[in-house]
């Protein structure tokens, strides 16, 4: 139960550590243990998120596979969809990533307040997504020039224009998924992924498979239209399901009606400014370097797209699932701790036991994903990834380059899997500190290398050695960087030197 804001913070400060730790865990923790596999529990949340991310990964893999069957030379064109997604991700990393800290706080905010924040975030994010879609459509030729090899650039313009709608669909999907996960409803992102996967299978079989209906010849643009239909239909279904859930939550809580609010937008804006800034810097440098890889030629550009499809698709699913649950439950624990120490304290002090209680979901996630990533690294490095790469690209040359990329840097993703979980602590509890660690990583490692690859010219084989050092080294550097930042954050929090937001009133 949320404490009254009128209760003296001085009285709270005299609580013994044992009592405070119990309050962080909250009276509802025993109920969560009894319902271990429900979506309100950590294991159940991981299962929901795992299924959601798995279906998304299969969707992405199948999309590339169908294009390889249509025209293997056009596989690289589909990577435009990925790079448009990277640019759109800058927008999606703003407001939606403040959901864990603000909407995920169910101890100091009422259900009505959390829904008001959700409504406001969703409406604003969809409007921004629509604006970005218009900008992409207006600059489609420039997008093709930046991210499509010259050999297939002219034939890719229509695909680029169709893929521009991803800015709107991804904004809708991301913001609804973030809000509902923070509200302990990971079933909504699962519905979105399921709808996208099912519609994709149906349309692919009917329109672009080898035994499709009709006598027409499908093209890469046909696949783009199918992807557009899948993205929009799944995003709209997720939004409608969220509205249904919010109606049920309002009726159960019997609180005042939730609505759009300018105050809610202001509440979301401050933490979102940190996450947005971090994303702008990170993705700008990433696209800068990727644009140099594309200049290496069609095979290298295609191989990098295949590598990222495999690595960031199917193989990364467990890591993504645990990170989503870590964000949710660290946000919950942070809210419980804030509710106990007093929401009006600007620089509260946390004991070691309290800090451990807050970050416990991340530690559990680190342990599990470390085991999973080590096993996957050994198995995939031993058996090789070349046959799978050929399956996706239908090209021997691309498959060989992908195998080379995999052997060079895949082991570094073990560090990234851990970094993913540790960074989630800062993202869900102190976005300002999340920005600090990101600045260190991007300015001390990625930016200097981006300048090097721009100013110096290398042969394709030599260039990949440089890019392997850049991307692989970045993942190791990120792990060290976030670990040190987290230790400093924990030490300062124990001394009452971490500045936190004050909950002045409900929105």
In this predicted structure, the answer to whether residue 324 has a pLDDT above a threshold of 60 is: yes
Cα of first residue to Cα of last residue in the chain, in angstroms, is: 18
In 3-state terms, what secondary structure has residue 216?
Answer: coil
From the number of C-beta atoms within 10 Å of its C-beta (0-12, 13-18, 19+), residue 255 rates as middle
Span 300-310, mean pLDDT?
Answer: 81
pLDDT at 284: 87
Q: What are phi and psi of 352, to 5 degrees?
A: -60, -40
**Torsional class of 253: left (φ above 0), alpha (ψ -120 to 50), beta (otherwise):** alpha
Confidence of residue 281 (pLDDT cuts 50, 70, 90): very high
CA distances, 168 to each of 6, 119, 173, 231 (Å)? 43, 17, 9, 9
Helix (H) or strand (E) holding 395: none
Span 28-37, mean pLDDT?
Answer: 53
Candidates 427, 337, 432; CA nearest to 98 is: 427
Ranked by mean pLDDT, the top range of 72-81, 215-224, 287-296, 439-448 is 439-448
Query: Which residue is it, tokens 């013994």?
Result: 16
Query: Which residue is it, tokens 């243990």?
Result: 33
Collect all residues with Cβ–Cβ distance below 8 Å to 365 and sequence separation of at least 6: 322, 323, 325, 326, 421, 424
Span 152-178, mean pLDDT?
Answer: 86
Please list the alpha-helical segments (H only) found in 185-297: 187-203, 220-253, 262-294
Q: CA angle, 289 as apex, 62 and 80 as ends, to 5°?
A: 30
CA distances, 317 to each of 169, 346, 372, 471 (Å)? 21, 37, 11, 20
Span 366-374, mean pLDDT?
Answer: 95
pLDDT at 10: 38
pLDDT at 323: 96
pTM over 0.75: yes
pLDDT at 149: 66
Interatomic CA distance for residues 256 and 278, integer angstroms: 36
Span 340-369, mean pLDDT?
Answer: 92
Confidence of residue 162 (pLDDT cuts 50, 70, 90): confident
Span 409-432, mean pLDDT?
Answer: 94
Query: Which residue is it, tokens 């936190």?
Result: 500
Span 86-92, mean pLDDT?
Answer: 85
Span 49-67, mean pLDDT?
Answer: 81
In this predicted structure, the answer to whether residue 273 has a pLDDT above a threshold of 80 is: yes
Span 355-384, mean pLDDT?
Answer: 90
pLDDT at 152: 63
Interatomic CA distance for residues 388 and 73, integer angstroms: 17
In this predicted structure, the answer to whether residue 390 has a pLDDT above a threshold of 80 is: yes
Tokens of 356: 């451990």
Helix (H) or strand (E) holding 442: none
Q: CA angle, 54 as apex, 73 and 363 as ends, to 5°?
A: 125
Percent of the chain with pLDDT strictly greater than 90: 44
Span 59-69, mean pLDDT?
Answer: 68
In this predicted structure, the answer to whether residue 220 has a pLDDT above a threshold of 80 is: no
3-state helix, strand, coil in the chain (%, to 5): 80, 0, 20
pLDDT in tens, 447-471: 998 888 888 777 766 777 888 888 8
Confidence of residue 153 (pLDDT cuts 50, 70, 90): low
Tokens of 333: 């624990």
pLDDT at 235: 95
CA distances, 95 to each of 14, 239, 457 (Å)? 36, 17, 39
pLDDT in tens, 238-260: 999 999 999 888 888 776 677 88
Q: Do residues 374 and 276 make contact, with C-beta atoms less than 8 angstroms apart?
A: no
pLDDT at 71: 59
Confidence of residue 50 (pLDDT cuts 50, 70, 90): very high
Span 186-192, mean pLDDT?
Answer: 94
Tokens of 335: 């809210």
Interatomic CA distance for residues 163 and 285, integer angstroms: 22
pLDDT at 78: 65
pLDDT at 240: 96
Interatomic CA distance for residues 434 and 417, integer angstroms: 16
pLDDT at 73: 55
Q: Do residues 385 and 403 make contact, with C-beta atoms less than 8 angstroms apart?
A: yes
pLDDT at 467: 82
Average pLDDT over the chain, rounded to an integer: 83
Candidates 410, 431, 404; CA nearest to 500 is: 431
Candidate from 113-127, 175-189, 257-271, 474-488 with smallest mean pLDDT: 257-271
pLDDT at 183: 93
CA distances, 394 to each of 67, 72, 242, 483 (Å)? 10, 6, 40, 41
pLDDT at 227: 86
pLDDT at 65: 67
pLDDT at 437: 93
In this predicted structure, the answer to whether residue 1 has a pLDDT above a threshold of 50 is: no
Interatomic CA distance for residues 62 and 68, integer angstroms: 10
In this predicted structure, the answer to whether residue 14 has a pLDDT above a threshold of 60 is: no
pLDDT at 256: 66
Tokens of 257: 């009606």
DSSP 44-107: HHHHHHHHHHHHHHHHHHHHHHHHHHH-GGGGGGGHHHHHHHHHHHHHHTSGGGGTTTTTT-TT
Candidate from 87-101, 151-165, 490-504 with smallest mean pLDDT: 151-165
Tokens of 148: 């499509």
């Amino acid at each position: 139960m949320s404490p009254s804001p009128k209760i003296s913070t001085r009285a709270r400060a005299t609580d013994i550590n044992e009592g405070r730790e119990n309050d962080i865990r909250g009276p509802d923790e025993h109920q969560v243990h009894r319902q271990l596999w429900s979506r309100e529990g950590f294991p159940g949340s991981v299962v929901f998120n795992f299924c959601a991310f798995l279906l998304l990964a299969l969707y992405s893999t199948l999309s590339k596979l169908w294009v390889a069957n249509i025209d293997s030379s056009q596989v690289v064109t589909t990577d435009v969809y990925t790079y448009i997604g990277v640019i759109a991700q800058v927008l999606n990393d703003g407001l939606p990533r403040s959901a864990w800290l603000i909407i995920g706080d169910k101890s100091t905010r009422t259900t009505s307040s959390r829904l008001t924040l959700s409504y406001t975030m969703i409406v604003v994010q969809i409007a921004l997504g629509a604006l970005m879609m218009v900008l992409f459509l207006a600059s489609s030729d420039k997008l093709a020039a930046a991210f499509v090899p010259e050999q297939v650039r002219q034939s890719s313009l229509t695909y680029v224009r169709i893929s521009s709608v991803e800015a709107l669909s991804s904004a809708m999907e991301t913001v609804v998924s973030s809000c509902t996960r923070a509200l302990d409803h990971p079933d909504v992102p699962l519905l979105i992924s399921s709808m996208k996967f099912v519609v994709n299978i149906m349309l692919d079989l009917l329109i672009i498979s080898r035994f499709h209906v009709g006598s027409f010849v499908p093209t890469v643009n046909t696949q783009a239209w199918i992807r557009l239909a899948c993205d929009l239909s799944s995003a709209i279904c997720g939004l409608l399901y969220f509205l249904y859930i919010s109606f049920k939550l309002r009726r159960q809580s019997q609180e005042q009606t939730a609505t759009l609010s300018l105050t809610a937008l202001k509440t979301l804006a401050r933490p979102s400014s940190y996450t947005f800034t971090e994303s702008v810097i990170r993705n700008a440098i990433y696209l800068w370097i990727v644009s140099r890889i594309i200049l290496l030629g069609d095979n290298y550009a295609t191989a990098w797209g295949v590598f990222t499809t495999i690595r960031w698709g199917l193989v990364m699913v467990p890591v993504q699932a645990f990170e989503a649950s870590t964000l949710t439950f660290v946000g919950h624990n942070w809210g419980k701790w804030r509710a106990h120490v007093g929401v009006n304290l600007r620089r509260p002090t946390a004991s070691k036991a309290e800090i451990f209680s807050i970050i416990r979901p991340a530690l559990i996630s680190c342990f599990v994903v470390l085991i999973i990533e080590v096993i996957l690294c050994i198995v995939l490095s031993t058996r090789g990834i070349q046959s799978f790469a050929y399956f996706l690209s239908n090209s021997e040359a691309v498959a060989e380059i992908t195998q080379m990329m995999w052997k060079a840097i895949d082991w570094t993703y073990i560090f990234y899997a851990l970094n993913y979980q540790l960074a989630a602590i800062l993202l869900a509890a102190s976005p300002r500190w999340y920005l600090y660690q990101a600045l260190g990583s991007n300015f001390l490692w990625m930016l200097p290398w981006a300048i090097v690859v721009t100013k110096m010219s290398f042969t394709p084989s030599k260039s990949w050695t440089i890019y392997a050092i850049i991307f692989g080294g970045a993942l190791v550097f990120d792990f060290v960087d976030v670990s040190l930042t987290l230790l400093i954050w924990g030490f300062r929090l124990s001394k009452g030197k971490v500045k936190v937001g004050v909950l002045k009133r409900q929105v």
